[in-house]
Amino acid sequence: MGAIQRVGVLGCGLMGAGIAEVCARAGSDVVVVETDERSAAAGQARLMKSLDRAVVAGKLGPAERDAAAARLRFGTGFDAFADRQLVIEAIPELPELKLDAFRRLDAAVADLEAILASNTSSIPISRIAAVTTRPGQVVGMHFFNPVPMLNLVELVPSLRTTSETMARTRDYASFVLGKKVIAAPDRAGFVVNALLIPYMLSAIRMLEAGFATAEDIDTGMEHGCAHPIGPLRLTDLVGLDTTLHVATSLYEEFKEAQLAPPALLMRMVESGRLGRKSGCGFYDYS
The question of whether 142 is a catalytic residue gets the answer yes
Alpha carbon distance 72, 233 (integer Å): 32
Indicate the residue type of 113. Answer: E
**Active-site position among 34, 154, 158, 245:** 154
Q: Of how many residues is the chain composed?
A: 286
The question of whether 223 is a catalytic residue gets the answer no
CA 157 to chain centre: 16
The question of whether 193 is a catalytic residue gets the answer yes
What phi and psi values does residue 10 have, to the nearest 5 degrees? -95, 110
Using the 8-state DSSP alphabet, how is residue 280 labeled? Answer: B
**Active-site position among 50, 126, 193, 278:** 193
C-alpha torsion 234→69→87→238, nearest 10: 10
Sequence-separated contacts (24+) of 192-198 with Cβ below 8 Å: 192/142, 192/144, 192/152, 192/154, 193/121, 193/122, 193/246, 193/250, 194/250, 197/243, 197/246, 197/247, 197/250, 197/259, 198/258, 198/259
The question of whether 96 is a catalytic residue gets the answer no
Contact residues for 27 (Cβ-Cβ < 8 A; gap 6+): 71, 176
CA 203 to chain centre: 23
Backbone CA torsion sign across 72, 77, 82, 86: positive
Alpha carbon distance 186, 155 (integer Å): 9
Alpha carbon distance 89, 284 (integer Å): 30
**Active-site position among 142, 158, 249, 278:** 142
Residue 124, helix vs strand vs coil? coil
**Active-site position among 119, 121, 122, 158:** 121
Q: Which residues are catalytic?
A: 121, 142, 154, 193
